[in-house]
Amino acid sequence: MSDDDATGDTATKPGDDRGATYASFVAIGDSFTEGLSDLAPDGTFRGWADLVAEHLAALTPGFRYANLAIRGKVLDQVLEEQVPSAVAMGPALISLCAGNNDLLRPNGDPDALAKRLAKGIRELRATGAEVLLFTGVDPRDSPVIRHARGRFATYYLHIRSLADLYGCRLVDLWSMQGLRDWRAWNPDRLHLNETGHRLVAAKVLTALDVPDAGEWHKTWPLPTAPTASRTENARWAREHLLPWLGRRLRGTSSGDGLPPKRPNLTEWP
């Protein structure tokens, strides 16, 4: 993407506060940021963003956190519904991960998505907040989305360019080999499990230069049995793929009507 493709504005330079702590954090996006498939002791979804907030809160008294992400949201919904709320809250740190649900649709255009994403990034950076962007995991091992690998790779290259252009922090999940093992994923093969979210949280804290971030590298032991037998694949298709396809055909989302889990920027308990 050229500068003219992204914006006519002058690029924002990265801040000079590498290693600084953050007094407030707003997370926006879809199921990845909401934290699906990682259950907290009280039965609510936790996920990498909550884990990052917990770590930041331990470093900064009075730390505040909001999580506006809702499963199933496409990019335009995030830009229209969540970005203005994040801007109004004026936090020190904002994470933005969106567009993957768009790319799962046949008409998902990574170039068009990146242009719309750039507008949202400009709005967030204009607040003076540190902005955190994400590439996704390489989908070549996924039976659902590997056919769209080229679209995903193109979109993630745009995100890398936008992070550089606007001085955003970048979390590169594509390079995380530990996330290519299905033991880091929920049985639906679309959402990370507790282990996967913990690995991402460590990578996020490393990207922020936060002390004692933890280890995001993961080398799995060899499996004792095949991880994707024909019987397991058939069960997965029946329990997860067919309901997902049904929602796509009906034009509905698993997040329809759901509120964000932490809609206000409040102090971490």
What's the CATH code of the domain at 237? 3.40.50.1110
Residue 212 pLDDT class (50, 70, 90 cuts): confident
For residues 95 and 208, what is the distance between their CA atoms, to the nearest angstrom?
11
Residue 7 domain flag? no
Q: What is the tally of structural domains in the chain?
A: 1
User: pTM of the entire structure?
Assistant: 0.84
Domain that holds residue 61: 19-218+226-267
**In a 3-state reduction of DSSP, which class is residue 86?**
helix
Residue 128 domain flag? yes
Residue 51 tokens read as 């884990």
Q: How far apart are the first and last CA of the chain?
A: 42
Average pLDDT over residues 97-111: 91
For residues 190 and 192, what is the distance between their CA atoms, to the nearest angstrom?
7
What is the secondary structure of 195-247 as a DSSP string? HHHHHHHHHHHHHTT-SS-------PPPPSS-SS-HHHHHHHIIIIIHHHHHH
Residue 150 domain flag? yes
**Structure confidence at residue 18 (pLDDT):** 41
Cα separations (Å) of 128 from 105, 109, 122, 123, 124? 34, 30, 10, 10, 8
**Structure confidence at residue 65 (pLDDT):** 98
Residue 188 pLDDT class (50, 70, 90 cuts): confident
Residue 140 domain flag? yes
Rounded to the nearest 10°, the torsion over CA 244, 185, 199, 268 is 50
Residue 81 domain flag? yes
For residues 17 and 130, what is the distance between their CA atoms, to the nearest angstrom?
10
Residue 238 domain flag? yes
